[in-house]
Amino acid sequence: MNKRNTTLKLILSAMFLALSFVMPFITGQIPQVGAMLCPMHIPVILCGFVCGAPWGLLVGATVPLLRSFILGMPPLFPTAVSMAFELATYGLLAGLLYRVLPKKKINIYVSLVLSMIVGRLVWGVVQFSLMGFDLEKFPLSVFWAGAVVNALPGIIIQLVLIPIVIVILEKSRITEKLK
């Protein structure tokens, strides 16, 4: 990879990090709405698609911890820690799968859905481990509620918005310039 592409990916990753940092302010006035819409997820996943797996992983791992240290939200333990693993997984897998799968529009969805599923599973495993592997502190019902039920509006937004953005970027050939 040449120096120009590395610099461009660094700049774009910084932009995605900044978006992930500020987007929760839009929904943060009502914490339940913010949790449902998952505003940090979209820029992290887009970073993986646009800049690649390493950059998506880095932005995903950084933003929840950075927000926690600077703003106190999300709370560091266990929320920001488990979100850091979850978002890092989203960024990593979105970038990795998008690069290795054949360039068909359906594979944008395949990359996105697999990233979202594995990221939520990683979140659950980390939460469970942070709770001392105690099913009374983190039962399957809490996992299901946190990973799917409460996040359903955000999941739907991600499934609609992210493929549209990626298709637009592909048509403008921006993603090709970053390879």
pLDDT digits (tens, 9 = 90+) for 64-114: 999 999 999 899 999 999 999 999 999 999 999 999 999 899 999 999 999
Token pair belonging to 154: 């955000």
Residues 6+ apart with CB under 8 A from 43: 16, 17, 19, 20, 23, 59
Q: Which domains does the chain have, with CATH numbers?
A: 3-177 (1.10.1760.20)
User: In angstroms, rounded to a whole number, what is the distance separating the alpha carbons of residues 154 and 173?
Assistant: 28
Cβ atoms within 10 Å of 5's Cβ, excluding its own: 14
Q: What's the pTM?
A: 0.93
> Which has the closest alpha carbon to 5: 57, 64, 55, 80?
55
Tens of pLDDT along 123-177? 999 999 999 998 899 999 999 998 999 899 999 999 999 999 999 999 887 766 6
